[in-house]
Structure 1
Amino acid sequence: MAASGARYVGLAGAVLLAVAGHLGGALPDAPLGVTPASIWRAPDGPATLTCWLVGTALLVGAWWSLRDGAPSTGWAYVTAGLWALPLLVAPPMGSRDVYSYACQGWTYAHGVDPYAVGVAAAGCPWVDTVAPIWRDTAAPYGPVFVLLAAFAVSLGGGLTGTLVMLRVIAVAGLLLAAFCLPGLARAVGVPTRRAAWLALAGPLVGVHLIAGAHNDAVMLGLLLCGLLVAIRRPGWPAALLLAGALLGLAVTVKATAVVVVPFAVLAGVRRPYTVRALVRDGGWLAGGLVGAVLVTSVLSGLGFGWVGGLTHSGDSEQWTSPPTAVGFVVDYAGALAGRDPQAVPVTRAVALLLLVGVLVVLWWRSWRHLRRLNEIACPPAERLRVVLHGAALALVATVVLSPVFHPWYATWPLALLALTALRTTWYALPAAVAAFLALPDGTNLARFTKAPGALAMTALLLTMLVLVLRRARA
C-alpha cells in the first residue's frame, strides 16, 4: 500500500472506530456483563460491531503496510496525529478502566486511602460505571498516578470533566514519548521514521492509550524520558540522578516499569565497563529512583500500600495470558481424569519464578556483551542497542509471563522493540492481533473463547518451545 493511501485508509479506520465508540462504546450508562450476541441484538448493535471490526481492520492494515518505515519522521508524526484526532473526541473505548481511575482519584481527593478500601466502600458516586470485578479491590497503581487521578477529579469536577482530564494526562504521556523517540532512535542508529511509526501510529495506541486513556501512556513517556537522559550523559551524576527520578516516577505510575531499571543502569555506565563503574554510576541512578519513590510515597501520605494492591491485578483469568492458558488446559485434562487440580495459581506462580530467572539472564547477557566491548573499538550506538534491546526483551518476557494480559499491555515492549529490533514482523504481528481482542464497550472476546483459546495458546507455546530448542541445538 502506498504511503498516501495508507494515511487515508487509516484515517477512515479511526473515524469508524470513533463512530463505534459513540454508538456502543464504554459509555457510563452502558450495560455491564454483556456478550457479543447481546451487543449484536442491541438497537445499534449491528452498526456498532460493523464499524468496530471494519475500522480496526483498516487501521491495522494501514499501520502494518508501513511497518518497515514511514516515508519520513515528520510524515509519521503527522499521520499518527491525524489518526488520533477522531479518537480524541470519542467516548472511552475498549475498556472501562478509566472509570476505575476516576473513582480512585475521587477516593483520594476525599481523604480516603485507595489502597485500603475499594471504590465501592469509599462511596465513589460513579461506582456504577466501574466494572464489577474492580469495585471492591484496592488500587493497583502507584502514588504518582493516584495523585494525577485526584488532580483530574479536582479540575474536572463531574465524571465527564474527570474523563476529559484523564485523557489529557494520557495524551501528555504520549507527547513526552514522541518527544524522546527521535533522540533514542538516533542514539541506537535506527531510522527515526520507523521507530516513530511503529511506536506511535499503531492501533493499540489510538484505541487504548488515547481513547481508553490508560495510564500506560504516562508510564511509557516517563520511561523513555528516563532512558534518554541516562544515555545522553553516561557517568554524569546529575544526569543519572535525574534519569533515576524519572524512572522512579514511571514505577510509581505502574510498577511494570521496574523491569527496565537494571538495563537503564547499564545504559548510564561510562566506558570502560567494570564492576567499579557499574556500582559507581548505577548507584547514582538507583539513588534518584529510590528518592523519587520515597518522596512521592511519603508526601502523598499513601506510603507503600500500593505494593499490596498489585496482588489484585491477576484477579481476572483469561487465556490471553500464557501461564493462565496452560493452567486452564491442565484443569481440562484433570477434569477428564475425574480430578480438579486447580492448576491456574500454580502455573502462574511458576511463570513468575521463570520471569525472575529470564530477567536475570537477559541482564547478565547484556552486561557480558558490554564487557566484551572493552576490548574492541565500538560505536556508542552498538552499546546502546545491546542495552535497550535487553530492556525490550525484558518487557516482552513480562508481558508473556504475567498472570493477566490485556491488549494495551503490548504497547510496553513495542516502543523499545521499535528502537532496537532488526525485524519487525515478530512483534508487530502480535500487536496487530491484540487490536481485535476487545469490543468497543470493553468486552474482552477472550471471555467467550476460553477453551479453544487456551488450547490454541498452549499449542503455540509448545511450538515456540520446540523451535527455540532446535535453534539452541543448532
Structure 2
Amino acid sequence: MSKDHGLSSSRAVGFAGSSLVAVGGLGAGALPVGIPYLAGGHHARLGLVCVYTGLALLLLAWWWYGRITRGDNADESCRTAWRTLALWVAPMVLAPPLFSRDVYSYLAQGLMIDSGMDVYRHGPSVLGGMAAAQVPAIWQHTPSPYGPVFLIVAEVVAGLLSSHLLLGVIAMRLVAISGLALLAGSVPILARSTGVRPSSATWLAVLNPLVLIHLVGGAHNDALMVGLLAAGLAAAVKHRPIVATLLIVAAALVKWPAALGLFAVAAMWTGRLEGRWPWPRAAGAVIATAGAATVLITTVAGTGYGWVSALDTPISAQNWSLTSTLGRWTAHLLAHDAVGVAVAEGLWRWAGVLATLVVAGIVWTCRAHLGPVYGLGIVLVAVVAFGPAIRPWYVLWGLVPLAAVAEHRRVRGLLAVLCAGLVLVVLPDGFAADAERVLLAVLGALIGIAAFLLVRLLVAPATPRPVWTVPGRRTSR
C-alpha cells in the first residue's frame, strides 16, 4: 500500500471525525432554545459520546496526516492541505453552533444595530424576541466588546436574514470560513520568510483541530480577526507596509489584541528604511495610517467609539484565567471584607497587565534575535495567559504567528500538544461539565481511539513508518 493510500486514509479518518462532531452536535451542541431539535435526555448523552468520538478521530487523523506529509514538496503539500481543510470543514458548515453560544450574541447585536439600537450602551435584552433569548443570561445586559468592522458584518448578516436564526448561524460560519481562507493563504508566505516549511506551518496553524472546532464549529469572530492579522503580517513581509497597516487595523476593529501587530509592521518597515531615525519614521507612518483608517472605518460604521469603553466586557466572575483564579482565591480569603475583595481582584488584574508588559519588554530587548512575527506571537500568548479571561480559541491569537515562523521543532511540538489538550476541555454545548458528562466524554474519546487504532492496524503494515516528530523547519535530505 502506497504513501498516497496512507494520506487518503488519514484524510478519511479526519472527515469521519469531523462528521461525528457535527452529527453529535444535533444532540449535545449549543442548540437554540424554543426550536424543536434533537436535544435533551437520551439525545444529549448520545450526542456527547458522538462528539468526543469524533474529536479523538480528528485529533489522531491530524497527527497522522502531519507525519505522512512531513518532508513533502512544499507547494504541492500546501495544496493537499487546503483540500484536506475543505474536506474536514465541510461537515461543520450546516451543524448547530458547537462549543460556545457566542454566535447568538453576534446575531443579536447585528439585529440591534439594524434596528437602530446602540450596542455599546445596551445588551441584547433590550432587543427581545427569539434572537435575544439565545444569548446566555450573563451577557443579556452586557454591551458589545467588538469593534466596528465586525459589527458591520453582523449588521449585514442580520439585515439580509432578519430573524432567520439558523440561516444566520450558517452565514456567520461562512464569515468565519472567509477568515480561515485568509489565514490559509497568508501562513505559507510568513513561513517562507523565515525558512519554515509552508506545509508544516499550514498543518499547525490552519489544519489544527482547535482551529476547526472553535473558529468554524463555534463560528467565532476570532477567525476574521486572526485571518486579517495574518494577511496584514504577510503584506508586511511582502514589503507593503501601508496595506499591512490597513489590514491589521481592520483586524483590531474586530478584536483589539490584533492592534499589537502594528508593532511588527513598524519593525519590519524600519529594517528597510535608509537614513536617520528609521524607527521613529516607520512608527510615525504606521500610527498616522492606523489612526486615519480607524476614524474612517468608525465613521462609515456609524457605531461610534463606544467599543473603547467596552474593552473590559469579557471580565466576569465566571471567567477562568490565571489572574482571575488568583483573584477569586484571594477574595475567598477576604470574604468578610467587601473592600478587600474588590482590591484583591483589581490587584491581580493589574499584576497580569504588569506581567504582560514585562514579557513585551523582554521581547523588545530580544527583537533582533526573535524577529517581529515571532515576538508578536509571544506577546499575544502573554496577553491571553495573563489576561482576565481566557477561552481555548483565544490561544489561536498567538498560535498563528508562532506556528508560521517558529523554527525549533520542540516549540512546534509544545504548541501541538497544547492545542490537542485544549480541543478536549470545552463541552459541545459550551457549559460547565458534571461527573456524568465527563464520563460520557471519556467513553466517546476511548471509542474514537479504538476506532483509530483499528484503522491504523489495517493500513500501517503496508505503509512507511516515519518518525514521530512534529513537522518543522526545512531539512536537507
TM-score normalized by structure 1?
0.82
Superposition pairs for residues 299-338 of structure 1, below 5 Å?
299-319=300-320, 321-331=321-331
1:364 and 1:252 map into 2 onto residues whose CA distance is 28
The alignment status of 1:75 with 2:75, answered yes or no, reads no
| Code of the aligned partner of 1:90 | A
Question: Does structure 1 conserve the Cα–Cα contact (< 8 Å) formed by 2:188 and 2:404?
Answer: no
Question: Does structure 2 conserve the Cα–Cα contact (< 8 Å) formed by 1:88 and 1:211?
Answer: yes
Quick one: structure 1 residues 418 and 435, their matched pair in 2 at CA, closer, same or farther if it must change by over 3 Å?
same
The alignment status of 1:398 with 2:383, answered yes or no, reads yes
Quick one: structure 1 residues 172 and 105, their matched pair in 2 at CA, closer, same or farther if it must change by over 3 Å?
same
In terms of mean alpha carbon deviation, does 160-169 or 305-314 score higher? Answer: 160-169
1:57 and 1:293 map into 2 onto residues whose CA distance is 43
- In the alignment, which of 20, 27, 31 is matched to residue 16 of structure 1? 20
For 1:44, what is the secondary structure of its paired residue? helix
Task: Show structure 1 runs of 5+ residues with no match.
Answer: 32-38, 234-238, 371-384, 450-474
The alignment status of 1:206 with 2:220, answered yes or no, reads no
| Code of the aligned partner of 2:219 | A
For the aligned residue pairs, the C-alpha RMSD in angstroms reads 2.6
The alignment status of 1:49 with 2:51, answered yes or no, reads no
- In the alignment, which of 428, 442, 458 is matched to residue 440 of structure 1? 428
Superposition pairs for residues 257-406 of structure 1, below 5 Å?
257-271=258-272, 276-319=277-320, 321-331=321-331, 342=341, 343-366=344-367, 369=368, 386-406=371-391
Q: What residue number does 2:175 align with?
A: 169
Question: Does structure 1 conserve the Cα–Cα contact (< 8 Å) formed by 2:27 and 2:45?
Answer: no
1:362 and 1:391 map into 2 onto residues whose CA distance is 8
Shift of 1:123: 3.7
For 1:443, what is the secondary structure of its paired residue? coil
2:171 and 2:288 map into 1 onto residues whose CA distance is 32
For 1:113, what is the secondary structure of its paired residue? coil
Q: What residue number does 1:130 align with?
A: 135
- In the alignment, which of 138, 155, 159 is matched to residue 165 of structure 2? 159
Q: What residue number does 2:188 align with?
A: 182
Question: Does structure 1 conserve the Cα–Cα contact (< 8 Å) formed by 2:27 and 2:48?
Answer: no
Shift of 1:282: 2.6
Provide Cα deviations, 1:77-101, integer angstroms capped at 9, x if missing partner: 2212211111112111110000000
Question: Does structure 2 conserve the Cα–Cα contact (< 8 Å) formed by 1:107 and 1:124?
Answer: no
1:136 and 1:154 map into 2 onto residues whose CA distance is 22
In terms of mean alpha carbon deviation, does 156-165 or 197-206 score higher? Answer: 156-165
The alignment status of 1:221 with 2:227, answered yes or no, reads yes
Quick one: structure 1 residues 330 and 286, their matched pair in 2 at CA, closer, same or farther if it must change by over 3 Å?
same
Shift of 1:165: 1.6
| Code of the aligned partner of 1:293 | T
The alignment-based identity, stated in percent, is 33
Question: Does structure 1 conserve the Cα–Cα contact (< 8 Å) formed by 2:249 and 2:293?
Answer: yes
The alignment status of 1:117 with 2:152, answered yes or no, reads no
Quick one: structure 1 residues 326 and 64, their matched pair in 2 at CA, closer, same or farther if it must change by over 3 Å?
farther
Quick one: structure 1 residues 398 and 285, their matched pair in 2 at CA, closer, same or farther if it must change by over 3 Å?
same
In terms of mean alpha carbon deviation, does 193-202 or 275-284 score higher? Answer: 275-284
2:318 and 2:30 map into 1 onto residues whose CA distance is 21
1:410 and 1:274 map into 2 onto residues whose CA distance is 39
Aligned length: 417
Question: Does structure 1 conserve the Cα–Cα contact (< 8 Å) formed by 2:99 and 2:218?
Answer: yes
Task: Show structure 2 runs of 5+ residues with no match.
Answer: 438-477
Provide Cα deviations, 1:395-437, integer angstroms capped at 9, x if missing partner: 1111101111111112111211111222312222221111112
Quick one: structure 1 residues 331 and 275, their matched pair in 2 at CA, closer, same or farther if it must change by over 3 Å?
farther
1:330 and 1:10 map into 2 onto residues whose CA distance is 44
Question: Does structure 1 conserve the Cα–Cα contact (< 8 Å) formed by 2:233 and 2:261?
Answer: no
Q: What residue number does 2:414 align with?
A: 426
2:436 and 2:402 map into 1 onto residues whose CA distance is 31
Question: Does structure 2 conserve the Cα–Cα contact (< 8 Å) formed by 1:67 and 1:428?
Answer: no
For 1:228, what is the secondary structure of its paired residue? helix
| Code of the aligned partner of 1:405 | I
Shift of 1:242: 1.8
| Code of the aligned partner of 1:166 | M
Quick one: structure 1 residues 414 and 212, their matched pair in 2 at CA, closer, same or farther if it must change by over 3 Å?
same
Q: What residue number does 2:29 align with?
A: 25
Quick one: structure 1 residues 175 and 80, their matched pair in 2 at CA, closer, same or farther if it must change by over 3 Å?
same
